[in-house]
Amino acid sequence: MLTQKRVKNALLSGLTLLALVAAVFWLTRTDDEAQGVNAITVERGDIRVLVTATGVLQPRNFVDVGAQVSGQLDRIHVEVGDGVSRGDLLAEIDATVYAARVDATRAQLRNQRAQLRDREAQMELAEIQVRRQRNLFDEDATTRESLQTAESSLRSASAQRDALAAQIEQTESTLRAEEANLDYARIYAPMDGTVVSIDARQGQTLNASQQTPILMRIADLDTMTVQAQVSEADIGKLDTGMPVYFMTMGNQAQRWHGELTRIEPTPTIENNVVLYNALFDVPNRGGQLLPQMTAQVFFITAQAEDALVVPVSALRFEQRGRPARSEEAPTERPAQVQVIGSNGQLETRQVTVGVTDRVQAEILDGLREGERIAITLRATGQSSGGDERIPRRLR
């Protein structure tokens, strides 16, 4: 019985002690602690309001090299990745037929030129006959009919010479076309660059009668163009000349910077989503960027560098009490913050807010670097790492 009594006394003592501790904690805690208030130090930092998109890299300057004549592709002189200069021989098409046509047309042209010389000789003879008949007619030594016959023969010889001259011009034009086709059988590089793709194979028969067969693509890889697809909800926030940067899927550590060059007005629709192409150029001196690479693109619609920044949750905006969203254009807006004074008391202060995203806001005036402001956990939903709990008065 004595042991049970001691156990009961010990349990009662323990419960009494716990009750006393709980009472002391409840009575001594401050209202700020009960509300969950944190202290944030005003510091300097950078704010960027971004529009994100996915893009594809393409060479700014490229050309698809095609065949202008039909025939069997006899030889390809380059491979993918080769650097070429303007005028370098890229490929050859079997030119047997085209060479034969050139030879036949040249022979025809020589024949017509020989006929022309014969016509010119006959015309000279006709002119002599006309002069003789005129002299004789003046001396009443011939008839008018003989003179008229001589003049008619001269006009006929002149017409035959002109007709043959026209035939020669036509044949010369045909020869130029045949020689051009013969030259087209040898395909040369139209620009300096790199062979980025080859679509034909040696021995392949090409048919250029309906459309130009594409043999290969040559591109200048020194400057790349990023084609980013931006949704219709974000395209209105972009403007030419604004800064932009991107990262490739294979190298997230390096950023490539540029300026937005143009926005194409014609949209593309994918899965009922309207997208617009926004393009900008970037130098590629090291050759790290390659065609068809995927890029994560970030358009900087607004930014503030080395500015006084505070959490958006610490601000109370006077316009309907809602914070600015990152999608909104940055404007100067009045707001209020709770500043912790040197005596530990909270002071309401008016501030002017500049660039704002969903997390931080730029303070244009009303605060100084190093001051501390109050932020409630109720506004943030959770305590941020490194925040300091504030009592009603600072010790």
SS (HEC) of 65-111: EECCCCEEEEEECCCCCCEECCCCEEEEECCHHHHHHHHHHHHHHHH
Of 7 and 190, the structure prediction assigns the larger pLDDT to 190
Q: For residue 32, what are its two tokens?
A: 């700020």
- Give the integer Cα–Cα distance in Å for 284 and 290: 9
- Give the integer Cα–Cα distance in Å for 316 and 194: 58
Q: What is the pLDDT of residue 31?
A: 44
Q: Is the dihedral of CA 177, 178, 183, 186 positive or negative?
A: positive
Please give the single-letter amino acid code of residue 316: R
Q: b/e for 83-108, b at 16 or more Cβ within 10 A?
A: ebeeeeebbbbbbeebeebbeebeee
- pLDDT band (50, 70, 90) for residue 285: confident
- pLDDT band (50, 70, 90) for residue 8: low
State CA 292 to chain mean position distance.
Answer: 11
- pLDDT band (50, 70, 90) for residue 32: very low
Statement: residue 120 has pLDDT above 90? yes
- Give the integer Cα–Cα distance in Å for 373 and 340: 5
Q: What is the pLDDT of residue 34?
A: 40
Q: What is the pTM of this model?
A: 0.67
User: Would you kindly state where each structural domain of the chain is located, as residue ranges?
Assistant: 30-46+306-389, 52-60+221-303, 95-184
Instruction: Specify the CATH number of the domain 30-46+306-389.
Output: 2.40.420.20
Statement: residue 300 has pLDDT above 70? yes
- Give the integer Cα–Cα distance in Å for 113 and 101: 18
191 CB-contact burial (10 Å; exposed 0-12 / middle 13-18 / buried 19+)? middle
The partner residues of 43 in beta bridges, in order of sequence, read 309
- Determine what percent of the chain is predicted with pLDDT higher than 70: 82
HSE-CB for 375 with a 13 A CA cutoff: 23
Q: What is the pLDDT of residue 124?
A: 93
Mean pLDDT across 49-66: 95
Q: What is the pLDDT of residue 10?
A: 56
DSSP secondary structure code for residue 363 in this structure: E
Written out in words, the top-level CATH class of the domain with range 52-60+221-303 is mainly beta
- Give the integer Cα–Cα distance in Å for 250 and 243: 22
Which residue has tokens 């080395």?
306
Please give the single-letter amino acid code of residue 313: S
Q: Which of 50-54, 303-307, 379-383 has the lowest mean pLDDT?
A: 379-383
Q: State the alpha helices, DSSP H only, in the chain.
A: 2-28, 31-35, 96-138, 144-184, 377-380
> What percent helix, strand, coil does the chain show, rounded to 5?
30, 40, 30
Beta carbons of 371 and 39 less than 8 angstroms apart: no
Q: What is the pLDDT of residue 380?
A: 39
Q: For residue 143, what are its two tokens?
A: 């008839």
Which residue has tokens 């006009």?
155
Mean pLDDT across 222-232: 95
